[in-house]
């Protein structure tokens, strides 16, 4: 291949033109930022989230030229009938599915001494079981398009932290889910990867039980736990997701892209 052809291909980097992408948890945070970037990159979007007003807000911020290519499928992904409905409606609307972004997720704070089975079940149901179910139903359609999956995991899936027990376990499970399914689907040319963000300022912390004051303290403290000396931005995560979803990552499968300002490499001195 000549350098000229390579340069021509470079022009296609990070285009999602013509691709149909389903993004869960698109009503806020990383899911919303990813949706907005995907829309700018030319993708047709199927946006899921529980908050309809939030989803409409995300759609409003999407690329003006692509507004008619956005379809909202609100609902709770832990509800099996909702998941079936999301896939059915998506295929009815766009006739194909190229990209699945498993982003919807929740956090909870507890150690083995003060956790509960209820907390374990709630976190696992959203962060693992719902992803398992949605992916099961999406895969036949992704095989047809030789599509791809990006799972929004966490640095908590690859490193261990106290006080986030069920969350860390759920993201570690998502990491194995990513790698195992990447092997199972590789012969069908379906790629499966994950993105592992460090701390990003979103609603997840307060939703998970932090007070506003605790959130601010945690964000301030987090500057010291990321080697780059700051927390990450929504766009920094969305860019990594877009790369993995695009043809620019056509030879990448089974990988975890860590977007954490170097947090994973740090050890206490």
> Which residues are catalytically annotated?
167
What six digits make up the tokens of 175?
């990491």
Residues β-bridged to residue 148: 99, 191
Sheet holding 20-23, edge to edge: 70-72, 44-47, 20-23, 99-102, 148-152, 191-197, 256-259
> Binding to ligand NAD by residue 203, rule CB under 6 A?
yes
> Binding to ligand NAD by residue 108, rule CB under 6 A?
no
Output 143 or 210, the one with its CB closest to ligand NAD. Answer: 210
Only one of the segments 60-68, 74-82, 239-247, 261-269 lies at the binding site for ligand NAD (rule: CB under 6 A); that segment is 74-82
Count the helices and strands in the chain (H runs, E runs): 10, 7
Only one of the segments 97-105, 111-119, 180-188, 244-252 lies at the binding site for ligand NAD (rule: CB under 6 A); that segment is 97-105
DSSP one-letter string for 127-143: IIIHHHHHHHHHHHHHH
> Binding to ligand NAD by residue 103, rule CB under 6 A?
yes
Shortest reach from residue 187's CB to ligand NAD, in Å: 28
Q: According to CB under 6 A, which residues from 222 to 241 bind ligand NAD?
A: none
Separation between Cα atoms, residue 189 and residue 146, nearest integer Å: 5
> Binding to ligand NAD by residue 124, rule CB under 6 A?
no
Only one of the segments 19-27, 91-99, 115-123, 184-192 lies at the binding site for ligand NAD (rule: CB under 6 A); that segment is 19-27
Nearest CA among 2, 42, 51, 50 for reference residue 20? 42
> Binding to ligand NAD by residue 199, rule CB under 6 A?
yes
Among 20, 152, 172, 192, binds ligand NAD (CB under 6 A): 152
Identify whether the C-beta of residue 55 lies closer than 8 Å to the C-beta of residue 74: yes
> Binding to ligand NAD by residue 78, rule CB under 6 A?
yes
Only one of the segments 8-16, 49-57, 91-99, 111-119 lies at the binding site for ligand NAD (rule: CB under 6 A); that segment is 49-57
What six digits make up the tokens of 115?
């956790």
Among 15, 42, 76, 109, binds ligand NAD (CB under 6 A): 76
Q: Where are the alpha helices (DSSP H) in the chain?
A: 3-10, 29-40, 52-61, 80-94, 117-124, 130-145, 165-186, 204-207, 212-222, 234-245
Among 49, 108, 147, 261, binds ligand NAD (CB under 6 A): 49
Separation between Cα atoms, residue 244 and residue 253, nearest integer Å: 9
Q: Which residues bind ligand NAD (CB under 6 A)?
A: 24-25, 27-31, 49-51, 76-78, 103-106, 126, 152, 154, 197, 199-200, 202-204, 207
């Amino acid at each position: 291949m000549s350098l000229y052809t390579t340069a021509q291909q470079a022009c296609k980097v990070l285009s999602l033109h013509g691709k149909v992408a389903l993004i869960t948890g698109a009503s806020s945070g990383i899911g919303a930022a990813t949706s907005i970037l995907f829309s700018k990159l030319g993708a047709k979007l199927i946006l899921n989230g529980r908050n309809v007003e939030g989803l409409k807000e995300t759609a409003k911020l999407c690329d003006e030229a692509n507004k008619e290519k956005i379809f909202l499928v609100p609902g709770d992904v832990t509800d099996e009938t909702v998941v079936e409905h999301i896939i059915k409606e998506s295929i009815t609307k766009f006739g194909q599915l190229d990209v699945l972004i498993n982003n919807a997720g929740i956090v909870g704070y507890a150690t083995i001494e003060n956790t509960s089975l209820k907390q374990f079940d709630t976190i696992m149901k959203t962060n693992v079981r719902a992803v398992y179910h949605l992916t099961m139903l999406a895969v036949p359609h992704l095989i047809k398009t030789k599509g791809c999956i990006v799972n929004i995991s966490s640095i908590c899936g690859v490193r261990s932290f106290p006080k986030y027990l069920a969350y860390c376990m759920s993201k570690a499970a998502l990491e194995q889910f990513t790698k195992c399914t990447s092997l199972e689907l590789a012969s069908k040319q379906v790629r499966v990867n994950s993105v592992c963000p460090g701390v990003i300022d979103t609603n997840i912390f307060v939703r998970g039980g932090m007070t506003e004051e605790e959130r601010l303290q945690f964000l301030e403290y987090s500057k010291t736990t990321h080697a780059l000396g700051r927390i990450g931005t929504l766009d920094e995560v969305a860019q990594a997701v877009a790369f993995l979803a695009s043809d620019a990552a056509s030879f990448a499968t089974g990988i975890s892209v860590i977007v954490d300002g170097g947090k994973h490499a740090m050890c206490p001195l």
